[in-house]
Amino acid sequence: MDALRSYGFTREQLFSRELSVADVVVECLARLHAREDLNAFLEVFDAEALDAARGIDEKIRAGRAGPLAGMTVAVKDNICVRGHRTTCASRMLENYISPYHATAVERLIAADAIIIGKTNLDEFAMGSSSERSIFGPVLHPRDPSRVPGGSSGGSAVAVATGMVHAALGSDTGGSIRQPASFCGVAGLKPTYGRVSRYGLVAFAPSCDQIGPLAGNVEDLARVLRVISGRDPRDATSADVPVPDFPLSPPDNVEGLRVGIAEEYFPSILSTEIGDAVMNAANVLAEAGASVHQVSLPHAEYAVPAYYCISMADTSSNLARFDGVEYGFRRSADTYQEMVMRSRTDGFGEEVKRRIMIGTYILSQGFDQDYYRKARQVRRLVAKDFEEAFEKVDVIITPTTPTTAFKLGDRTGDPVDMFLADVFTVGGNLAGIPAISVPCGADARGLPIGLQIFAPAFDETTLLKTAGFLEKRLG
């Protein structure tokens, strides 16, 4: 399916000049402003987007248009766009203007995508509900009394409501896949190193990845083609060839080996979600795939290991926000008092909680008990996946244990909130690619997401499997 068709127009219309890119942008902006109540955007680039669209229309007429001409994209507000605020939804960076583009943004613009604006998120991407933003919570597009997931909730809502064709998010422990699942869109966390992190405000650098959300798998593939590849400004970006990721789903999955891990079907899993995922497995089997039981025995330790590592990283990475060189600052008589007051008032409660826990984890006498142990568990989680992929090509699981929960239901219990990521964090610890695609709805009509894991740098198989299921499941 043409990537633009689900929004009422096609690429052919643009290139035949039946429709202009400016018309497309006007329509997307109209949808955006009609649903400002959802609080998905923190900044909208109305005039800038229209100027860019007119320039792309000129390129189309001259036969020089890039591969994403006509595609509108939103950018999560922890990813830098030159000349615009990068707030991370925090008072600490409320007025910070980025002097440069993130590499992923730079590559999108070079491919003639139109950046529409910056989306809301949990403060510093620390959350699973998009409720912890100083600009207010993001609301679920189908039921505003519920959360859209997090931390890339604004990006997911922007895609789900047709405000944009695609969006960039960041995924440290599930922050692309979980909101994609809750909002009924597709979301991809690439292999660690596939996409440059340059211009992404660091949360946990050994887990962070920029990735796309979109209304369909084809759009994910289009964006991934553009933003992937080695970047000399990011030492962790991998020097691995970027394939032509498939834009069309295969006609069959003959010979595909699909893994089902019992550890991802615990008692806390909603029966409706478990049934929807197993139905997808049956669809694959009927189309020629073979389904196998695999074991990921250390999956139960992934959440505590992930939070130990990520909170330790948080303590280190957020030390730069001290009120000295940029960002929020409180005046005081002494340097120590200035730093203390700036950080106390500049950070929200969840961010401060993670900084303090991370500092404790790294403190002398405790780092061996917590941080070192967590890193050992991380290696075991990665080894589990490696051994499973010797037997299967992909592993399918639920994306989340429940569908979208009510606003405020989990803000008072951090552990309960952490469990929203129970099925996603393993992919970040192992550094492998993972995708969430819709696979049904619960009795309330709320979307259910199916997660697919693949071996490192095998996004091609991931996208083929996801595209096939998207076509078959409708």
Residue 175 annotated in active site:
yes
Q: Using CA atoms, how far apart are residues 275 and 23, in angstroms rounded to an integer?
A: 42
Question: Annotated catalytic, 151?
Answer: yes
CB-CB neighbours of 12 under 10 Å? 12
Q: What is the DSSP letter of 202?
A: P
Rounded to whole angstroms, how far apart are CA atoms 469 and 474?
Answer: 8
- Measuring CA to CA, which residue among 171, 245, 196, 223 is closest to residue 399? 171
Burial state string for 59-83 with b = 16 or more CB within 10 A and e = fewer than 16: ebeeeebbebbbbbbbbbbbbbbee
Catalytic residue among 128, 152, 175, 436: 175
Report the distance separating Cα 148 and Cα 214, nearest Å. 15
20, 151, 237, 315: the catalytic one is 151
Q: How is the beta sheet containing 447-453 ordered, strand by strand? A: 41-44, 114-119, 72-76, 166-171, 209-214, 186-189, 434-441, 447-453, 394-398, 257-261, 290-294
Residue 224 CA to chain centroid, in angstroms? Answer: 13
3 state SS of 467: helix
Between β-strands 434-441 and 447-453, what pairing exists: parallel, antiparallel or unpaired?
A: antiparallel
Q: Which of 76, 118, 189, 464 is catalytic?
A: 76
Beta strands, E only, 246-393:
257-261, 290-294
- 170 in active site: no
Catalytic residues: 76, 151, 175
